[in-house]
Amino acid sequence: MQPRVLVIVGVGLIGGSIGFAVRRNGGMRVLGLDDDAAALLRAKENGIVDEVCTDLGAAAFAADLMLFCTPVDRIADKVLAAAPACRPGTVLSDVGSTKVGILSRLHGRLPSDVQFVGGHPLAGSEKQGSSSADANLFRGRLVILTPTTPETDIGAVTAVSSFWERIGARVLRMSPEAHDHAMALTSHLPHLIASALAGLLPPELTSLTANGFRDTTRVASGDPRLWTAILEANRDEILSALSGFEDRVREFRTALETADHDRLQFLLQAGRERRSAIANDT
């Protein structure tokens, strides 16, 4: 059965894009909440939600499906605050970039008739706020769900999967641990590296950057507050991925220092092969 009332907690870029996509599709009433009253008003003005609400308990009681779209460090608190007010059978999910920490904070603390399914759409932007919301942000994109089987009810997982598929996403299930391990390498480490590189650019060289620098550092424009929370939430996996990266950079350094032409070309070739696999996969 398709949920009739969707509550979006946090109407930033992701929450806003979900609201847009759902309202365009029709069939659900969209209620928005946000601690930032101005952001909430903008969301209503931008047509991202049908209604705004400032009381989490009232919204939770109205919800068939609640999606938590706040920064990762606030998701568990919001879920714990909302869940007791939910009607039996309400399904809760989130869009947080890390999963293990959130799920371990929720473990054993939710009412037995309310289900939480961890989720993470692999879509986003360095932009922020509902003004940049895009109804097509999730079209063709992957959403990872991390049900902690056998605890997570199959019906709840199906409801969240169907929700994402209706707005054009593909759904993949994996364990929270596998998710956080993968994202450390595919998303969090690249962000750290892009930020480190961007931070090195002296102002006088700004106009000498071309597409290479711009692409390599694009994600560094992301919100520092959001990304501090993400890096902290997945610290151990990121430190481990970072060690692998530092080793690889050291290999490049040694090849350059020792003028090892073949080794340098081999390293560049390895990078190209892995990168080209992505292009073919898309």
Cβ pair 67, 99 in contact under 8 A = no
CB of 70 to a second copy, least distance (A): 17
Cα 281 to Cα 90, 92, 276, 277, 278: the distances in Å are 36, 32, 9, 6, 5
Helix axis angle, 261-281 relative to 235-257, nearest 10°?
140
- Pairing assessment for the beta strands 5-9 and 29-33 based on DSSP bridges: parallel
C-beta closer to a second copy: residue 90 or 217? 217
Q: How far apart are CA 42 and CA 84, in angstroms?
A: 29
Binding segment for a second copy among 3-11, 76-84, 102-110, 268-276 (CB under 8 A)? 268-276
Q: Is 173 among the residues that bind a second copy (CB under 8 A)? A: no
Binding segment for a second copy among 59-67, 84-92, 159-167, 206-214 (CB under 8 A)? 206-214
Q: Is 217 among the residues that bind a second copy (CB under 8 A)? A: yes
86, 76, 71: which is closest to 3 by C-alpha? 86
Q: Is 212 among the residues that bind a second copy (CB under 8 A)? A: yes
Extract the tokens encoding 204.
């006088």
CB of 90 to a second copy, least distance (A): 29
Q: What is the CA radius of gyration of the chain?
A: 21
Choose, by CB under 8 A, the member of 149, 162, 209, 240 that binds a second copy: 209
Q: Is 216 among the residues that bind a second copy (CB under 8 A)? A: yes
CB of 58 to a second copy, least distance (A): 33
Which residues, 226 to 265, sit near a second copy by CB under 8 A? 227-228, 231-232, 235, 238-239, 241-242, 244-246, 248-249, 251-253, 256-257, 259, 261, 264-265
Choose, by CB under 8 A, the member of 2, 54, 158, 186 that binds a second copy: 186
Q: Is 205 among the residues that bind a second copy (CB under 8 A)? A: yes
Choose, by CB under 8 A, the member of 106, 133, 191, 233 that binds a second copy: 191
C-beta closer to a second copy: residue 24 or 272? 272
Extract the tokens encoding 239.
């430190």
C-beta closer to a second copy: residue 25 or 265? 265
Which residues, 96 to 155, sit near a second copy by CB under 8 A? 122-125, 141-142, 144
Q: Is 213 among the residues that bind a second copy (CB under 8 A)? A: yes
